[in-house]
């Protein structure tokens, strides 16, 4: 039975897959084959309720993807509401309404149809020719144009239509047309296109005759109308209302606009223009004018894009276009099923038999791989029959394919990206190609390509045409067509398995494996010849430009070293990941060397992981590969043979290099897009390479010491390596068994510092590992070689030991505590210093390890006695080293203490006696403990003598009350030195003796000085009081004489206080003075300076103001103020060294009188 015999209608019958607004040739067929799907039914129900009741929501926004039938629905609505008679004589409602199953909807649609109305159906892009006026509002212009055409006015030139409108409104249009015909012999409608050119004179003559004006006036009228013509939404809406009112009370005028969404695009001005038109029609016409539009994008999506780009407010248009039917793929599938695939029987027996027999197999056949998008299969026998020979996935997948091809400008012509072909038409094309096949055949996805070939750009088909001419492989050509359709459908992964599903051509396919194998072979051929690009398991169609790039990429040269580097990064860093081996036996990490195909990658190590790739010359000879690892601590991992691994690695590197070399500021934009896409794909290829390496690793054959490692299969490469590496560590380090227990820093600390009599008593036997350490140190020492901790850690980390550093450090620490070895850096270390050096890896190279030197008990006991005598405490050491190190530690403490005391030698000069002792002790503290044991006799007596004679007395003095008394006495001596001249020298002498004492810590110098301080403090207080009293008498005497002066008596209280201020200052200074000399100096300064100044000030303040001069002349000069000098400042000419007789007195007094008279004669006064 042939497939075409199943269909109710001939699949070859004419079906216009594209419904055009302006095409009336097939109206009957378009109405007859219109399918009221579930989605359309819901849309009609929502629309009719608003059309009948809501006067505000006057917009319908019909959206749907390419070929979904939105233009068909728009046209059917226009025909229904217009109730235009079809060419067959039928009304559209008579054909369509009976097909509506919902009775309520059918009734409401009948009510809507009965409302008188007229439909204006047009494609806005075809009508938009900028008819004049405001060219910034092209949507309004188109609406004005179709309205003018409806009224019989000129549509192409708005100003001519305006002339006609004005004439019509005046009742003159018909008469003017008649006049035009009479004057020119031609009809007005035929000439109005050329009024501005060829028919200009004809218009002027007809207008002049009709209105009785000159032809010049006619010219001016036409020019004025043209110049002043403007379109506005308000005037348009008013004209619509005017037209509606002329037709009758309930009449409606509806605009049906196809492809509005594509016309608007991303231009917010156009959307605002449409919004205002719809709003103005709603308000001016009170719901009697509706606007129906179609768009590929639903209203929210279109508005969302516009807001994102331009930020305009489109809330009003959402209020107008409340009815927004969106036609989905399910709707298209139903249309195709009912219009094209309807069968003669609902479920033909021949099809149900096929489904029942193959249904389990069909589920398996059409199961796409997990990493790709999944599609539902036939839900049962009924759907299998409804959709046969198509699979449900083909509707959704082809829709996505067409959408993406449209976005990438794959079609020819204007706006072909939004629907020059429909899904119905393409599926009909496929059905026609299968109609003579036997029932059981299925449509393959590649057949969809032939349905769109005519509208594809030529350059898009070049590769497929070339393949058809050059490839002798029909399957490869089918694959190429299918993958062209899916070029930009990213969610579909074109793996060999998924491609094989696309090409299943019958339900009872027998050998699925052979089919998939054939697909793989064809894919490989296409990829090898650069028709396709392979990225891991995924293949992609290459356009001509992409093909050129692919060929150039494959021709790019790379070094083998780059491949090795890449695979090592993938295998070691991304797959194995672990940089070290964690050995379960001791929880320690072991570094390992990395090799790829026997070549070392990075640093060498005791353990090795050698991964053998298919590129290795001996890859197929596993026996030879296993033999090369005999005796080596090397784990050999032989990856399974997969040529794809090396090809993908090389292609990744070639793509990376090519993209870097061909990217720059001068790169062609289209080429840059391809390169950017290649980079993205290369990132996916890198991930796929990692996945492939992981799969190959867990399936690899693993060899150790010439034998294959058998073990449990692990799906995770990291786990697999970890488990296999346990055998590697065990084989490489057989002496690991010597280590008992675990070792960490805490155990090392306890070993070196915690008291442990068993460990330090010398009775504990050496373990096997400790004996290995001793043997190694002994051998090096016998050969005269120096042994460091660093070298020992390195030695015992190698084969056959594999001991980790903390284990070696702890064993060294145990032997150290046992007294078996000593550690030097360069001096001998004690337990604390040994711990610091062992835990600090940077110091390991400086620490030398030697066998412990032995000493007799006599030397040890002698050092213990010295320790007791010098430090007044017992030595707790148990062996020579601990005894010596204890003494050294205290010597170091003593040296630091003495240095601190010497820092005070500037204040306490007697401390200089400590310097020589400190230097001797410091030298001993820097020595090795063995020096103390061997040379104690050279130092013990001098040190013990110094302790008794110097150290102990000074320490007692500096740390006791004597130092406080000493400090107080010396401070008193320095502070009161100025008062000592008036005291008995013998009372001051004890202080001077203490300051000069070389050993104040001996004898009674400090007590004597302390007693002298007490006595002198009282004497100085009495002396100061007496001096203050004497000075007070002098001040009182001078002040009494000053106040009795006549000049002083003339002064007021303020002036008197001003004169006496110096006396007050002098009293205050004397009262606060601490020294006798200061009191005497102050009273003398008062007598010599302050008192004469007081006398002068009193005279000056008391002097009367000079009287004014007679006759208004200059005032009389002010008499000079008297000058006072102290009598004590008089100098005589007497040459006598002293006075001893009355004659001497007479001579001195005569000279004194002469000096005094001279001063007075000079105008000065003598103060007494």
Q: Which H/E stretch holds residue 622?
A: helix 622-627
Percent of the chain with pLDDT over 70: 93
Q: Is 600 helix (H, G, I), strand (E, B) or coil?
A: strand
Contact 1127, 1168 (CB under 8 A): yes
Percent of the chain with pLDDT over 90: 40
**H helix intervals, 799-906:** 805-817, 831-839, 857-871, 880-902
Q: Which H/E stretch holds residue 275?
A: helix 268-285
Selection from 552, 499, 527, 760 nearest residue 647 by Cα: 527
Question: pLDDT at position 438, please?
Answer: 92
* Exposed e or buried b per residue across 349-376, where buried means at least 16 C-beta atoms within 10 angstroms of its C-beta: eebbebbeebeeebeebbebeeebeebe
Q: In the numeric block, which tokens belong to residue 614? A: 């298919």
Selection from 454, 518, 449, 443 nearest residue 482 by Cα: 449
**H helix intervals, 471-609:** 474-485, 496-502, 512-528, 544-554, 560-568
Distance (Å, rounded) from C-alpha 272 to C-alpha 277? 9
Q: What is the DSSP letter of 121?
A: E
Selection from 469, 479, 466 nearest residue 525 by Cα: 479
Q: Which H/E stretch holds residue 50?
A: helix 38-53
Distance (Å, rounded) from C-alpha 903 to C-alpha 382? 109
Residue 800, preceding peptide bond in cis (omega within 30° of 0):
yes
Cβ neighbour number for residue 453 with a 10 Å cutoff: 13
Question: pLDDT at position 1146, please?
Answer: 81
Instruction: Say whether pLDDT at 132 is over 70.
Output: no
Q: What is the DSSP letter of 582?
A: E
Q: How confident is the model at residue 309 (pLDDT cuts 50, 70, 90)?
A: very low
Question: Judging by DSSP bridges, how do beta strands 848-851 and 1123-1126 pair with one another?
Answer: unpaired
CA angle 420, 267, 311 (to 5 degrees): 135
Q: In the numeric block, which tokens belong to residue 10? A: 């001939």
Q: What is the DSSP letter of 1107?
A: P
Selection from 65, 236, 58 nearest residue 139 by Cα: 236
The arithmetic mean of pLDDT across residues 421-438, rounded, is 87
What's the farthest any 2 CA atoms get from each other in the chain?
181
Instruction: Say whether pLDDT at 696 is over 70.
Output: yes
Question: pLDDT at position 1094, please?
Answer: 86
First-last CA distance in the chain: 162
120: left (phi over 0), alpha (psi -120 to 50) or beta: beta
Q: How confident is the model at residue 182 (pLDDT cuts 50, 70, 90)?
A: very high
The arithmetic mean of pLDDT across residues 511-532, rounded, is 92
Crossing angle of helices 961-975 and 985-995, in 10° steps, is 130
Distance (Å, rounded) from C-alpha 508 to C-alpha 510? 6
The arithmetic mean of pLDDT across residues 222-248, rounded, is 91
The arithmetic mean of pLDDT across residues 560-583, rounded, is 92
Question: pLDDT at position 522, please?
Answer: 94
Q: Which H/E stretch holds residue 592?
A: strand 588-596
The contacts of residue 101 (CB under 8 Å, 6+ apart) are 36, 41
Q: How confident is the model at residue 414 (pLDDT cuts 50, 70, 90)?
A: very low
pLDDT 10s digits, 652-690: 999 999 988 888 777 778 788 888 888 898 898 899 899
Distance (Å, rounded) from C-alpha 67 to C-alpha 73? 12
**H helix intervals, 662-788:** 669-698, 717-732, 745-753, 757-760, 768-782
Rg from Cα positions in the chain? 60
Question: pLDDT at position 416, please?
Answer: 42
Distance (Å, rounded) from C-alpha 846 to C-alpha 1136? 92
Question: pLDDT at position 1117, please?
Answer: 63
Q: Is 122 helix (H, G, I), strand (E, B) or coil?
A: strand
Q: How confident is the model at residue 1167 (pLDDT cuts 50, 70, 90)?
A: low
Distance (Å, rounded) from C-alpha 616 to C-alpha 625? 10
Whole-prediction pTM value? 0.51
Selection from 521, 530, 516, 449 nearest residue 483 by Cα: 449
Contact 1153, 1111 (CB under 8 A): no
Cα atoms in the 13 Å half-sphere on the side-chain side of 389: 32
Q: In the numeric block, which tokens belong to residue 1106? A: 């000079």
Distance (Å, rounded) from C-alpha 424 to C-alpha 524? 34
Distance (Å, rounded) from C-alpha 222 to C-alpha 208? 12
Q: Is 409 helix (H, G, I), strand (E, B) or coil?
A: coil
Selection from 464, 490, 462, 466 nearest residue 478 by Cα: 464
pLDDT 10s digits, 975-1021: 888 888 888 889 889 988 888 888 898 888 889 988 988 998 899 89
Distance (Å, rounded) from C-alpha 74 to C-alpha 1141? 157
Q: What is the DSSP letter of 709?
A: P
Selection from 443, 581, 590 nearest residue 505 by Cα: 443
CATH topology of domain 27-132+231-328: Rossmann fold (3.40.50)
The arithmetic mean of pLDDT across residues 1092-1104, rounded, is 85
Q: How confident is the model at residue 603 (pLDDT cuts 50, 70, 90)?
A: very high
Question: pLDDT at position 415, please?
Answer: 37
The arithmetic mean of pLDDT across residues 93-122, rounded, is 93
The contacts of residue 644 (CB under 8 Å, 6+ apart) are 692
Question: Judging by DSSP bridges, how do beta strands 580-583 and 59-64 pair with one another?
Answer: unpaired
Question: pLDDT at position 421, please?
Answer: 45
pLDDT 10s digits, 8-22: 999 888 876 566 666
Contact 78, 292 (CB under 8 A): yes
Q: Could you tell me how far CA 603 lies from the centroid of its own chain? A: 34
Give CA separation, 66 vs 291, 439, 459, in Å.
22, 30, 22
Instruction: Say whether pLDDT at 243 is over 90.
Output: yes
Selection from 448, 442, 433, 430 nearest residue 507 by Cα: 442
Q: Which H/E stretch holds residue 486?
A: none
List % helix, strand, coil for the chain (3-state, nearest 5): 60, 10, 30
Distance (Å, rounded) from C-alpha 302 to C-alpha 264? 9
Residues in the chain: 1168
Average pLDDT, the chain: 86
Distance (Å, rounded) from C-alpha 393 to C-alpha 504? 13
pLDDT 10s digits, 623-649: 999 999 999 999 999 998 887 888 899
Contact 610, 636 (CB under 8 A): yes
Instruction: Say whether pLDDT at 483 is over 70.
Output: yes
Contact 312, 50 (CB under 8 A): no
Q: In the numeric block, which tokens belong to residue 391? A: 């699979």
């Amino acid at each position: 039975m042939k497939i075409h015999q199943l269909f109710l209608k001939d699949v070859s019958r004419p079906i216009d897959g594209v419904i055009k607004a302006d095409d009336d040739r097939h109206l009957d067929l378009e109405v007859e084959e219109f399918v009221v799907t579930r989605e359309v039914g819901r849309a009609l129900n929502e629309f009719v309720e608003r059309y009948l009741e809501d006067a505000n929501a006057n917009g319908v926004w019909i959206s749907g993807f390419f070929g979904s039938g939105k233009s068909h629905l728009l046209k059917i609505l226009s025909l229904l509401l217009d109730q235009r008679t079809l060419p067959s004589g039928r009304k559209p409602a008579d054909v369509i309404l009976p097909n509506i199953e919902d009775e309520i909807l059918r009734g409401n649609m009948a009510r809507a149809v009965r409302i008188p109305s007229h439909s204006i159906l047009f494609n806005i892009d075809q009508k938009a020719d900028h008819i004049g006026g405001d060219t910034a509002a092209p949507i309004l212009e188109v609406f004005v144009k179709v309205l003018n055409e409806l009224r019989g006015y000129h549509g192409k030139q708005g100003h001519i239509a305006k002339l006609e409108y004005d004439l019509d409104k005046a009742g003159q249009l018909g008469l003017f047309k008649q006049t035009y015909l009479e004057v020119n012999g031609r009809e007005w409608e035929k000439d109005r296109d050329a009024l501005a050119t060829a028919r200009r004179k004809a218009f002027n003559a007809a207008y002049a005759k009709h209105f009785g004006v000159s032809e010049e006036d006619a010219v001016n009228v036409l020019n004025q109308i043209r110049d002043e013509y403007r379109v506005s939404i308000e005037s348009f809406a008013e004209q619509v209302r005017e037209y509606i009112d002329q037709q009758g009370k309930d009449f409606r005028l509806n605009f049906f606009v196809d492809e509005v969404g594509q016309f608007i695009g991303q231009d917010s001005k156009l959307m605002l223009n449409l919004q205002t038109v719809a709003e103005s029609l709603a308000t001016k016409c009170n719901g009697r004018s509706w606007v129906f539009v179609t768009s590929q994008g639903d209203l929210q999506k279109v508005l969302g894009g516009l807001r994102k780009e331009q930020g305009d407010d489109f809330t009003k248009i959402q209020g107008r276009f409340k009815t927004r039917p969106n036609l989905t793929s399910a709707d298209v599938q139903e249309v195709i099923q009912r219009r094209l695939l309807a069968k003669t029987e609902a479920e033909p027996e021949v099809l149900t038999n096929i489904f029942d027999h193959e249904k389990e197999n069909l589920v398996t056949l059409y199961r796409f791989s997990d990493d790709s998008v999944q599609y539902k299969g036939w839900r049962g026998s009924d759907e299998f029959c409804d959709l046969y020979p198509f699979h449900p996935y083909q509707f959704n997948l082809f829709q996505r394919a067409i959408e993406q091809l449209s976005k990438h400008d794959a079609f020819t012509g204007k706006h072909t990206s939004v629907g020059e072909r429909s899904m119905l038409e393409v599926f009909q094309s496929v059905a026609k190609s299968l109609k003579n096949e036997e029932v059981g055949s299925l449509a393959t996805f590649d057949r969809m390509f032939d349905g769109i070939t005519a509208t594809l750009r030529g350059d898009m088909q070049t590769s497929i045409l070339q393949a058809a001419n050059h490839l002798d492989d029909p399957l490869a050509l089918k694959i190429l067509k299918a993958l062209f359709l899916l070029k930009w459908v990213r969610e579909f992964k074109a793996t060999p398995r998924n491609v094989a599903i696309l090409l299943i051509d019958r339900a009872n396919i027998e050998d699925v494996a052979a089919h998939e194998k054939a697909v793989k072979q064809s894919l490989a051929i296409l990829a090898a010849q650069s028709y396709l690009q392979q990225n891991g398991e995924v293949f992609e169609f290459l356009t001509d430009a992409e093909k050129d790039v692919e060929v150039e990429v494959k021709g790019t040269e790379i070094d083998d070293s780059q491949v090795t580097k890449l695979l090592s990064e993938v295998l070691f860093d991304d797959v194995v990941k672990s940089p070290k081996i964690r050995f379960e036996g001791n929880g320690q990490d072991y570094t390992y060397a990395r090799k790829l195909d026997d070549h070392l990658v990075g640093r060498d190590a005791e353990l090795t992981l050698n991964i053998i790739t298919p590129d290795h010359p001996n890859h197929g000879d596993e026996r030879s590969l296993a033999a090369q690892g005999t005796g080596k601590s090397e784990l050999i991992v032989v990856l399974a043979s997969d040529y794809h691994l090396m090809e993908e690695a090389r292609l990744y590197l070639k793509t990376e290099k090519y993209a870097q070399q061909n990217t720059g500021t001068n790169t062609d934009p289209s080429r840059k897009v391809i390169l950017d896409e290649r980079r993205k794909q290369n990132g996916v290829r890198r991930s796929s390479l990692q996945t492939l390496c992981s799969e190959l690793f867990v399936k690899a054959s693993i060899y150790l010491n010439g034998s294959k490692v058998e073990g449990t299969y692990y799906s995770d490469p990291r786990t697999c390596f970890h488990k296999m590496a346990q055998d590697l560590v065990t084989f490489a380090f057989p002496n690991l068994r010597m280590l008992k227990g675990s070792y960490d820093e805490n155990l090392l600390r306890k070993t070196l510092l915690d008291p442990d009599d068993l460990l330090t008593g010398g009775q504990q036997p050496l373990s096997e590992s400790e004996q290995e350490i001793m043997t190694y140190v002994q051998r090096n020492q016998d050969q005269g070689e120096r042994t460091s901790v660093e070298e020992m850690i390195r030695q015992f980390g190698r084969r056959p030991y594999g001991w980790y550093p903390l284990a070696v450090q702890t064993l060294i620490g145990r032997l150290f505590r046992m007294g078996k070895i000593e550690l030097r850096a360069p001096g001998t270390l004690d337990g604390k210093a040994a711990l610091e050096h062992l835990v600090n890896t940077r110091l390991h190279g400086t620490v030398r390890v030697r066998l412990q030197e032995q000493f007799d008990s006599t030397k040890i006991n002698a050092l213990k006695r010295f320790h007791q005598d010098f430090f007044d405490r017992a030595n707790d050491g148990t062996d020579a080293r601990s005894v010596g190190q204890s003494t050294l530690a205290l010597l170091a403490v003593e040296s630091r203490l003495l240095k601190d005391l010497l820092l005070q030698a500037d204040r306490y000069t007697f401390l200089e006696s400590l310097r020589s002792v400190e230097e001797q002790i410091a030298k001993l503290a820097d020595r090795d403990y063995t020096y103390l044991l061997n040379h104690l006799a050279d130092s013990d007596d001098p040190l013990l003598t110094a302790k008794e004679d110097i150290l102990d007395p000074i320490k007692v003095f500096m740390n006791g009350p004597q130092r406080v008394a000493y400090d107080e006495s010396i401070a008193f001596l320095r502070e009161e030195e100025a008062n000592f001249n008036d005291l008995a020298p013998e009372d001051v002498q004890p202080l001077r003796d203490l300051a000069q004492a070389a050993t104040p810590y001996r004898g009674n110098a400090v007590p004597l000085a302390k007693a002298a301080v007490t006595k002198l403090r009282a004497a100085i207080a009495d002396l100061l009081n007496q001096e203050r009293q004497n000075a007070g008498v002098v001040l009182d005497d001078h002040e009494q004489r000053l106040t009795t002066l006549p000049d002083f008596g003339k002064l007021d209280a303020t002036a008197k206080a001003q004169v006496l201020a110096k006396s007050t200052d002098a009293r205050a200074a004397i009262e606060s003075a601490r020294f006798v000399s200061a009191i005497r100096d102050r009273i003398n300064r008062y007598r010599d300076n302050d008192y004469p100044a007081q006398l002068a000030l009193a005279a000056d303040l008391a002097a009367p103001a000079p009287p004014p001069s007679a006759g208004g002349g200059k005032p009389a000069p002010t008499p000079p103020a008297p000058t006072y000098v102290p009598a004590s400042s008089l100098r005589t000419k007497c040459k006598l060294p002293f006075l001893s007789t009355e004659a001497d007195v007479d001579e001195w007094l005569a000279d004194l009188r002469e000096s005094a008279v001279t001063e007075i004669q000079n105008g000065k006064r003598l103060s007494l």
